[in-house]
Amino acid sequence: MSDQDLQHVFLSYSEENLEFVDALARRLKNDARLSFWFAPWHSVPGVPVQEQMEEALWQAQACAVFVGTGEIEGWQGEQMRVAIQTRVEDEPGYRIIPVLTPGATRPSRRSLPSLLRRYEMVEFQGPDDDQAFNRLLAGILGIPPIQVEGYVEVRVSQEKMSLPPSGVLKQGHALVIGVANYPKVRPLPETVLDDARDLGALLTDPAICGYPPAQVDQLLDVEATSDSIRAALADLAARTGPDDTALVFFSGHGAHAPSGGDTRQYILPYDCDLADLSHTAIRGDEMTRMLREIGAGRLLVLFDSCHSGGAGDPKGLLPQVRLGLSEEYYQGLAQGKGRVVIASSRPDEVSWALPGMNNSLFTHYLLEALRGQCKMLGDGYVRVFDIFRHVADQVPAKADQHPIFKATAMDVDFPVALARRGR
């Protein structure tokens, strides 16, 4: 296996460092164009975690071990030992970088695990510590810090693409679904329908995203029955191929409920009946199958589910079922090369609709990103990580809501739309 085939870095962390590492991962991809393995984004449900970690560590060129106030133990301890073993026994060029997170006191060398003591530590004074970030990049890449800027410039230039001469993203296809006025489920704010309408309008705006209007389908309320959603997904699968980009957006209720000793996940269409979810809702495994049948080489699935009615007033639980979809469900949907899922909130959070905003919080910043109001490479395209970094940075600043990202393959930062005028 050549260096070109290896991931740049494995990110080893404990739960106390999760928020910092998550933000740093976004920056590694957006600012430095590096590839990495980060368990919350890339681990596959149903596969032993230890096997995944060992494979990912072996396929990386370096391992960044994040050191906070707690002990390095549990899975992080196992990861560190595998990394050290790889360095000592298999690959002398393998790099191990201890990283001190913001707010943590620099440990004495004696207090570090013995296998980490020989390596120079990178210290972050804060989340935006550029000097520490550049030193981390230098450690990951195995180059002097003075060469980092030039390396990043080359990476960025290599990933830039030419805009289509026609000014139209001919390979762009989308299915946009919004359900608010459920007849048998507690309704959601009308904002949900505005979200779907505004996204559809933006995607087909020739001055912005540039999707051909005939290739963007929209299902709102009564149009979004279980049968019509299935038919629309089947049509999307039939008309897309490996050179195409497909976007699927769902704004409405997601839920999970016990069934035969297990918990099943459901997308709730307009005509669902809580008393008969198995026949009137779309089960998680069925949704996974339908998405897998979409032949587009690049697929982005966006969920803005479990909405609130207004600031400080999240909607109560639905009777008989629990709102929300699990991270395992989203990860299952993201299986396969070129598949990415971005969801508006964690399973234990609500997706807010705040007063004074025309759209729900997540979709507001999603639309901003698609307009080009986010950090991009500068070639006129908005990419997957451009979108995720923007929503993940902006949404938590307004509410207790944290968008999540799920993918399996590392090469997932594909163009989603044109973003030529950023208005």
Domain that holds residue 95: 3-159
Residue 164 lies in a domain: no
For residues 153-170, average pLDDT: 93
Q: What are the pLDDT digits (tens) for 16-73? A: 899 999 999 999 999 999 999 998 998 887 788 888 888 888 888 898 989 887 666 6
The CATH number covering residue 246 comes to: 3.40.50.1460
What is the reported pTM? 0.88
Q: Does 202 lie in the same domain as 112?
A: no
pLDDT band (50, 70, 90) for residue 105: confident
Q: Does 135 lie in the same domain as 28?
A: yes
CB proximity list for 64: less than 8 A, separation 6 or greater: 9, 10, 11, 12, 97, 99, 136, 139, 140
What is the domain count for the chain?
A: 2
* pLDDT over 70 (residue 111): no
Q: Does 220 lie in the same domain as 304?
A: yes
Which ranges of 112-270 does DSSP label H, i.e. alpha helix?
Answer: 130-141, 148-159, 191-203, 226-239
Percentage of the chain beyond pLDDT 90 is: 59
Q: What are the pLDDT digits (tens) for 311-340? A: 333 333 344 456 678 888 888 888 888 899
* CB of 185 closer than 8 Å to CB of 400: no
The CATH number covering residue 37 comes to: 3.40.50.10140
- pLDDT score for 6: 67
Q: Does 352 lie in the same domain as 377?
A: yes
DSSP string for 259-294 = ETTEEEEEE--TT--GGGHHHHSEEHHHHHHHHHT-
Q: What are the pLDDT digits (tens) for 200-214? A: 999 999 999 999 999
| Of 159, 191, 221, the domain-final residue | 159
Q: Does 369 lie in the same domain as 238?
A: yes
